[in-house]
Amino acid sequence: MNRIDRLTAILIHLQTKRVVKAEEIADRFGMSLRTVYRDVKALMEAGVPIGSEAGKGYFIVDGYHLPPVMFTQDEANSMMLAGKLVEKIADKSVREAFSSALYKIKSVLKDEDKDYLEALDSNIKIYFRGRTEQNDQFPDHFMTEIQRAVARKQVLKLDYVNQAGEVSQRLVEPAGIFYYSLAWHLIGWCRLRNGYRDFRSDRIKNLVNTGEEFKVRSTGSLKEYFQAMYSSNQNLIQAVVVFDKKALLGRPLNSTTTQTDLGDCIRAEFLMDNLDFFARWILMYGKGVEIKEPDQLRERVSELSEELFHHHTRERNLVK
């Protein structure tokens, strides 16, 4: 990236947050803090109203906005691909918002880029088993409101249906959202149960944002809560699997709680409630996957492999 492009990118980055640390800019663009200071000074000398707070970072003075920026072809392509994934794992409210944003992106592209994107769009398909059609009992349009409540720290009122079909009304202080076991989950403090609870978004019958703001409880990070939830919930199984990048063929890993890039491999952690389904999915990657834990997942994959071996051996002998 040349310096002009980098200065533009830094200016855009500064507009994404109220205050941006110099270390954050250095990490993103792979440069030294000294270079960050020099680039920010160059932007200020060019007339960009950038302020700074000691020990906090840089900020753009209120009222200043960079003129509309043209997207590159690669950036537009990546947004379109993201849209394909959103169609599969997001609810109606998020799908509609993303679709609207994508139209705005397309509207500022050059004509040749629009033609390129249209040609590419018809040749990208994503098959994902996790999404199922919603029925009338569970509306499919709450995720956008849940995200607002998480960001604004506002209490939600839910009509929630448990696995037995029983409906209860809950007042929930939302802490965050996770995607695991092929569904989105709202994690929040339930005032009825006086503790953190896990609510599957596809089991929320009705949802209202009360507008009441709450103070964040000092119970540790969401990651720590996730570990506590796993420890206390016998229905959830934690799996650690290492994938050879060649076996992944560039496909993203969905439903992971964490991912670590190990160079030629990716170490992924999952939380699941169906060991057999997960074992059958793992088989798709053949020798390109190594199961670190748990032992029962490794044993189930071995059993399935043996069943396949005997099945195909028998079929071959019958043909002979």
The model's pLDDT over 49-84, given as tens digits with 9 standing for 90+, comes to 999 888 889 998 877 766 666 677 787 788 888 888
Domain-located, residue 137: no
pLDDT reported for residue 176: 84
pLDDT reported for residue 159: 94
Q: Left if phi > 0, otherwise alpha if psi is -120 to 50, otherwise beta: which for 305?
A: alpha
Q: Count H helices, E strands: the chain?
A: 11, 11
**259: Cβ–Cβ under 8 A, 6 or more apart, which residues?**
253, 266, 267, 268, 269
Domain-located, residue 180: yes
Residue 242 CA to residue 17 CA, distance in Å, equals 35
Number of domains within the chain: 4
**2: helix, coil or strand?**
coil
pLDDT reported for residue 252: 67
One domain, residues 56 and 78: no
Domain-located, residue 210: yes
**239: Cβ–Cβ under 8 A, 6 or more apart, which residues?**
269, 270, 271, 272, 278, 291, 293, 294, 297
Q: Which domain holds residue 163?
A: 143-220
pLDDT reported for residue 145: 92
Query: Where a domain ends, among 220, 251, 274?
Result: 220
Q: H/E/C letters for each residue in 164-192?
A: CCCEEEEEEEEEEEEEECCEEEEEEEECC
pLDDT reported for residue 235: 65
Bridge partners, residue 180, by sequence: 183
The residues of the chain scoring below 50 in pLDDT are 130-136
**143: Cβ–Cβ under 8 A, 6 or more apart, which residues?**
90, 91, 93, 94, 177, 184, 201
One domain, residues 206 and 175: yes
Max CA pair span of the chain? 83
pLDDT reported for residue 32: 92
pLDDT reported for residue 22: 93
* pLDDT tens digit sequence for 151-171: 899 999 999 988 778 899 999
For residues 301, 307, 310 and 311, what is the CA-based torsion angle, rounded to 10 degrees?
A: -130
* Count of beta carbons in the 10 Å neighbourhood of residue 296: 12
Contact of 51 with 61, CB cutoff 8 Å:
yes
* pLDDT tens digit sequence for 256-289: 767 888 988 999 988 777 788 888 888 888 899 9
Q: What token pair was written down for 282?
A: 């793992």
Domain-located, residue 68: no
The residue ranges of DSSP E strands in the chain, in sequence order, are: 50-53, 57-60, 154-161, 167-180, 183-190, 195-200, 204-213, 237-244, 256-261, 265-272, 289-293
One domain, residues 311 and 250: yes
Give the H/E segment covering residue 97.
helix 92-107
One domain, residues 86 and 24: no
Query: Where a domain ends, among 195, 220, 245?
Result: 220
CATH number at residue 45: 1.10.10.10
How much of the chain exceeds pLDDT 90, in percent?
A: 26
Domain-located, residue 129: no
Cα 57 vs. chain centroid, distance in angstroms?
Answer: 27
Domain-located, residue 138: no
Domain-located, residue 66: no
One domain, residues 53 and 89: no
Domain-located, residue 128: no
CATH number at residue 271: 3.30.70
State if pTM tops 0.75. Answer: no
pLDDT reported for residue 165: 82
